[in-house]
Amino acid sequence: MRTRDEDKVSLVKKMAIKSIVKDGFEGFSMNKLAKACGISVATLYIYYKDKDDLIISIAKEEGDAMADSMIKNFDPTVSFEEGMRVQWENRYAYMLEHPFSIAFFEQLRNSTYQSRFLDNFMKKFKQIIGEFMNNVVKNGEINSMPLEVFWSIAYAPLYSLVRFDAEGQSVGGKPFKMTDEILWQTFDLVIKALKN
């Protein structure tokens, strides 16, 4: 039995993400991936049992990397604003450094792979973020609210700004380029909206 060539595995992951982002899951196939990597289809099946195994494996690894990035230097005992600032810094840095991974996650979120991806991803940082949220609610810094409400106010503005920047335009086709001033002005408004 042949052993795994980690350089090939890395290339397969990179090309699979790019292919899925470009062509969607409907246009993605093991044959196309093998051709893009310059390897045989049989080589892919050494590393992954099938297309689903490949996609879930990559989603898990990329999700773990993103979760690790989000909780980097994060202390769940800090104040609400300080903790949120670290979250925004980490999320923004990750999105800038890994645009294909972010686009890949968007594809996952809009597919039948969503639940398998989110279940694993949430495990990675749910505990530390949950501890932070319990602390800030207990300390009276914010009111308790459903997770969906919190996320929509806390992070959706950041994701929208990054998307506008990636597309080079905002609503109505107006040219847009992200700046630190815009980033932190938006952050200040988010904190003001969430605080008591």
User: Domain spans of the chain?
Assistant: 1-47, 60-194
Give per-residue pLDDT as tens, 34-84: 999 999 999 999 889 999 999 999 998 998 898 899 999 999 999 999 999
Give per-residue pLDDT as tens, 148-173: 999 999 999 999 999 999 999 999 89
Q: What six digits make up the tokens of 131?
A: 């501890």
Class of domain 1-47: mainly alpha
Contacts 24+ apart (CB under 8 A), 191-195: 191/80, 191/81, 191/84, 193/153, 194/80, 194/84, 194/142, 194/150, 194/153, 194/154, 195/80, 195/81, 195/141, 195/142
Contacts 24+ apart (CB under 8 A), 36-39: 37/8, 37/11, 37/12, 39/8, 39/12
What is 60-194's CATH number, 2.102.10.10, 1.20.1090.10, 1.10.357.10, 1.10.10.10? 1.10.357.10
- Can you give the length of the chain in residues? 196
